Structure 1
Amino acid sequence: MSMHENEVILDYSVKDLFGIFIKVAKRDFPNFKEKTAVGTKVEKKVGAYSGKTATMTVEITDFERNKVYEITSTSPNGQVYTSRYEFEELEENKTKVSLSETEASGGIFAIINSFIVKYLFKKRINRRFEYFVKGLEAEAKDLIERRENSGRRKNEDDDGEDEVEEIASEEE
């Protein structure tokens, strides 16, 4: 079994960051519902790099709003990969995101694979995490910009007529 851990502190609220995970879950898991998230599964085709493809089962194995999002992927040959994202609100707009990735398989190859991954692919794993963080930050930035623009448009479109109508209905 091999395990890798990374963490980052981002200047966004836990609610905004976790909301991005929910958006992705709704896209990737057609039957996703927050209240019954754990156990939600999909089948995904993998292995296009080698010319062979296989179907992998991907399942949400832990979910707690604004705290934990965990998926477990199981390949046909029995390899199990788990990605666990944990969120900790440090301040109002400061959140620590931790990622733990584990890969489990049986036999002597598991020991060899664990060694190879730990020492030879560490840079690749760290680069993948950096890419994940950049994507998460870009999504969060876009979310906040859309929210701010929506608020501005609402204020620009508001010509005070609603207030006049409310006052008029109170007088009647």
Structure 2
Amino acid sequence: MRIRLFILIFFWGCSIIAQEKILTKSGTITFEASVPAFEEVKAKNTGASCVLNTKTGEIASLALMKGFKFKVALMEEHFNENYVESAKYPKATFKGKIENFDYSKVTTSSQNYTLKGKLELHGKSKDIAVIAKIKKTSEGLEIISNFSVNSDDFGIEIPSVVSKKVSKKVNVSLEFLLK
């Protein structure tokens, strides 16, 4: 009898703890550093991870640099070898918190929240604050954000040969569906 009670309490406790964190391993991050009148410089990664602690609002995300796919294979090769140096710096991470986040108050209508934290890329860290639209859906919690970063902030050098064709201002968009 005691063993059954212990097992019941153990699994009930585990399910409560598990409810505090929701995640995805198939988030989408897209970036674009295009300059008008030149070839599009755009890539998409559909294997980004994100985890959210629904009690504290703490959030973390990870994207493998080699997961970014370009339309042009040569551009992808240059991105990995010359710009972000994927062999040396294989991932980008964000660790932070959603300000004033209360999971119980999130509705099916998008609400703007501020995400503050550290973005680490190419061996450099930068504190950032971005606006994200967050809402509940039938499938989970949706987080969408669009923001810009500067390649100089992360020590990513753009060779002078292509400096007119690649913007230092990189527009980033993300879409996560956490379950």
* TM-score, normalised with respect to structure 2: 0.30
Q: Which of the two has higher C-alpha Rg? A: 1
Comparing both chains, which one has the higher relative contact order based on Cα–Cα distances under 8 Å and sequence gaps of 6 or more? 1
Higher strand share: 2
